[in-house]
Structure 1
Amino acid sequence: MKTVVITGATSGIGLEVARLLAGQGFNVLGIGRDEARCRQAEASILSENPGARVACFAADLMQQREVVRIASVIRNLLDAQWNGELHALINNAGCVRSRYMTTEDGYEQQFALNHLAGFMLTHMLLPVLLKARGRVILTGSNSHKGIRVHWKDPMFRRWYNPLIAYKQSKLCNILFAKGLNDRYGNTGIRAYVVDPGLVKTDIGNKETGFLVNLVWSLRKRHGVPPAVPAETYLYLCRQEPAPEGLYYYLCKEKAYSRQVTSENANRLFEISRRLCGLDE
């Protein structure tokens, strides 16, 4: 039995991926921000798959202390029940903001949750991923194209544009995946980014201002149900041997930005390590 950890697992894409994987016999460990929604997600999945092995844990991954805490909980559970092995970590949690907002660590929230949380959680779970020759899957976006990392001020403290900050965070997702493959590809670990396309979720309606909320409410009407992109995550979890590509859309490889180079990936890796307070 293979175990998968999914962040942002209580709604939208994350919930549909959890539902799909649980129905395919995976052990599913979900992470959501709200305790009540964690229980609702578990109940929803179990109502469709009474024999599913699923558990959801509440953690605010925007805060680094919470990433450290939940990583410890998961590692202890894996060691106790599943031979200390993690088949896949799906870093799906994300947010959209309409103004400059920071975490308790002082980091811009889109950069903190969309990139640093997944970076830090992956680092904390690396031993159990290595043991399983596992996979790391990130939720990306086609919006990563046409943007560069603002290296001198990656959190846009001096000049903030929420849309640019979001797009940069999605570029960071694919640079992180590239960096993981460069560093750990020879160990059997593989990292991927899924482009879900336009999906009917509430990401643009959570803690956003009136205009962003309105625009997203209108735009998402043209999106596909979360169950559509969920199939790509299942594909990347099930394929044996692990696929060789990096960026996937509807279960097929897709072209990505020319900014995705080993040089940029390594530069982001070092910045992220410092911001997360991680030792080599």
Structure 2
Amino acid sequence: MSAFGEKSTADEVLADKDLSGKTVFVTGGNSGLGQETGRAMAVRGAHVVLAGRDSAKLDAAVAAIKVEHPDAKLETIICDLGSLESVRACGAEANARFAKIDLLINNAGVMACPFSHTADGFEMQFGTNHLGHFALTKHLLPLIEKGENKRIVNLSSRGHHFAPVDLDDLHFERREYDPWISYGQAKTANILFSVGLEQRFAARGIHAYAVHPGGIQTNLGRHLTEEMIAALMERVSRGTGEFSWKTIPQGAATSCWAATADVVEGRGGVYCEDCHVAAMDDTSSEGGVRSYALDPAIAKALWAKSEQMTGEAFA
């Protein structure tokens, strides 16, 4: 059982870790959980690459970290997960600039946005949260294979409880769009992607973990109205009133734990919350992972569709 829990922070989780010589690549690194994850790992000696859409915001994130940690080893790279062209350009640049990636933290995402599409015509939440990271991971895989203790962490959410993936209508072409069903589907896809990665690459020493960071008030919720927030609270707590927000340092803790904890070495394809591996649970609203999110057959089917939609086949 993990020594850490719901209230643990990223710094506490990493306190006894020496990440010197490690290269960590974090998407959504310009703010919120991504910036905090990158900061905490840089403090422990890692070379951290912060990826995001906006160079000015990335530079601001680096400056903010260096105020307190002037010796932090930080670099930035542009990547818009809503554009396969941008993802491919990022992958090419990363392979030219970096020697390896030991830890890939697929952190970026959008939540409960109005119905819209990515540059490639994918529904925005599924396209950004899953397909963008699917394609990026494929392009970064040669660097990951050169790393040590190689891990991929995919940010999911307890929101995966809201919906499985609808393999017949992933982009809401035939069903009415619901922002929370869309979000749930995308977060389920993040877990299934972790299962698929583990199926394919565990034998090559690469392990994948899905993470629920907890409820954190960051710019991820920029599309939420007060009514939507109230509905979310009701949905996740089922009226029990037991939902509580985490701080950003607490929210980044499980990502840092999944990326570095000895206890999960060699056992990927799992869903983590509050710094432990969650049990499968198809009824509780308070935690656990739904069985449909860990189903190897669904993971395989989603992988095939993801390759088809992105035009990206993993070697």
Q: Structure 2 length as normaliser, TM-score?
A: 0.81
3-state DSSP class of the match of 1:132? coil
- The one of 29, 39, 46 aligned to 1:19: 39
Paired AA for residue 137 in structure 1: V
Question: Cα deviation per residue 1:74-93 (whole Å; 9 max; x = unaligned)?
Answer: 11111xxxxx3210111111
Structure 1 equivalent of residue 219 of structure 2: 202
Structure 2 equivalent of residue 232 of structure 1: 254
Contact 1:30–1:56 under 8 Å retained in 2: yes
Give the direction of change, closer, same or farther, for the CA distance of 1:42–1:119 in structure 2 (3 Å limit): same
Structure 2 equivalent of residue 125 of structure 1: 140
Give the direction of change, closer, same or farther, for the CA distance of 1:157–1:168 in structure 2 (3 Å limit): same
CA distance in 2, matches of 1:243, 1:16: 26
CA distance in 1, matches of 2:60, 2:307: 35
- The one of 262, 267, 274 aligned to 1:244: 267
Kindly state the Cα deviation for residue 97 of structure 1 after the two structures are TM-superposed.
Answer: 3.7
Contact 1:199–1:224 under 8 Å retained in 2: yes
- The one of 130, 147, 165 aligned to 2:163: 147
Question: Cα deviation per residue 1:120-161 (whole Å; 9 max; x = unaligned)?
Answer: 111111111122251110111112125221111111122211
Question: Cα deviation per residue 1:2-22 (whole Å; 9 max; x = unaligned)?
Answer: 001000111111111011011
3-state DSSP class of the match of 1:61? coil
- The one of 30, 48, 52 aligned to 2:68: 48
CA distance in 1, matches of 2:219, 2:155: 15
1:60 and 2:83 are equivalent in the alignment: no
Contact 1:236–1:242 under 8 Å retained in 2: no
1:171 and 2:188 are equivalent in the alignment: yes
Q: Structure 1 length as normaliser, TM-score?
A: 0.91
Contact 1:231–1:251 under 8 Å retained in 2: yes
- The one of 302, 306, 313 aligned to 1:268: 302
Paired AA for residue 226 in structure 2: L
Structure 2 equivalent of residue 93 of structure 1: 108
Kindly state the Cα deviation for residue 26 of structure 1 after the two structures are TM-superposed.
Answer: 0.5
CA distance in 2, matches of 1:235, 1:12: 17
The 10-residue stretch of structure 1 (10-19 or 239-248) with the greater mean CA deviation from structure 2: 239-248
Kindly state the Cα deviation for residue 216 of structure 1 after the two structures are TM-superposed.
Answer: 5.8
The 10-residue stretch of structure 1 (191-200 or 51-60) with the greater mean CA deviation from structure 2: 51-60
CA distance in 2, matches of 1:3, 1:67: 19
Structure 1 equivalent of residue 16 of structure 2: none
Structure 1 equivalent of residue 313 of structure 2: 279
Paired AA for residue 214 in structure 1: E
CA distance in 2, matches of 1:86, 1:69: 17
Paired AA for residue 237 in structure 1: A
CA distance in 1, matches of 2:225, 2:55: 24
Kindly state the Cα deviation for residue 235 of structure 1 after the two structures are TM-superposed.
Answer: 2.1
CA distance in 2, matches of 1:163, 1:59: 25
Contact 2:24–2:105 under 8 Å retained in 1: yes
CA RMSD of aligned residues (A): 1.9
Kindly state the Cα deviation for residue 166 of structure 1 after the two structures are TM-superposed.
Answer: 0.5
Identity of aligned residues (%): 32
1:106 and 2:114 are equivalent in the alignment: no
1:254 and 2:278 are equivalent in the alignment: yes
Paired AA for residue 242 in structure 1: E
Give the direction of change, closer, same or farther, for the CA distance of 1:216–1:162 in structure 2 (3 Å limit): closer
Contact 1:200–1:222 under 8 Å retained in 2: no
Paired AA for residue 174 in structure 2: R
5+ residue gaps, structure 2: 1-20, 234-242, 280-288
CA distance in 1, matches of 2:114, 2:133: 22
Give the direction of change, closer, same or farther, for the CA distance of 1:217–1:72 in structure 2 (3 Å limit): same
CA distance in 1, matches of 2:162, 2:39: 34
Structure 1 equivalent of residue 18 of structure 2: none
